[in-house]
Amino acid sequence: LARELQRDPVRGAVLHVDFLKIARDVAIEVDVPIHIEGESPGVKEGGVIEHHLWSVRVSCLPTSVPDRLVADVSHTILGEMLRVGDLEVPEGVTILTDPNEAVLGVVVPQVLKLEEEVPAEAALAEGEEAAVAAEGEGAVPPAAEGGETKEEEG
């Protein structure tokens, strides 16, 4: 059984493989990936799936190792979590990961609240009023008109 596979990051060629010697009648512990399937009603309502756990540790005979476990989200609503204990596992496979650990959740997306939007016409009118006010004042700051500052007093 291949335990670890290392690839060259540029070419993708196999650099190294670690194999695990196993006996067919002795249970082994392996990590099995979790695959999400289905359409969540919570996502249709505007939520997003927040994935917490990508694989689980299982114990089984080498001939019974599943290639993946399926997380069915077709019944998850907003605010609901799918836990490890909710995953369906094939016969002869025991999940070793804590059954209360969250696999995924359907949550309301976090939205950055911006200042209240001002209609485009109102924003344009405010910009014009500010420009007219600046022209009326001569657009020269009071300190630049020759007024005394604290440094000149001393």
pLDDT in tens, 79-130: 899 999 999 999 999 999 999 999 999 998 887 555 555 555 555 555 555 5
Is this model's pTM higher than 0.85 or not? no
pLDDT of residue 19: 85
Structural tokens at position 19: 């194999």
Rounded CA separation 57/31 (Å): 4
Question: What distance in Å separates the CA atoms of residue 143 and residue 133, rounded to the nearest whole number?
Answer: 18
* Domains recognised in the chain with CATH numbers: 26-107 (2.170.120.20)
Supply the pLDDT for residue 4: 85
Q: Which of 132, 128, 109 is nearest to 120 (CA)?
A: 128
Position 96, amino acid: L
Q: Say what percent of the chain tops pLDDT 70.
A: 72
Residues 69-83: pLDDT tens digits?
999 999 999 989 999
Q: What is the pLDDT of residue 154?
A: 47
Q: Give the rounded percent of residues in the chain with a pLDDT score beyond 90.
A: 55
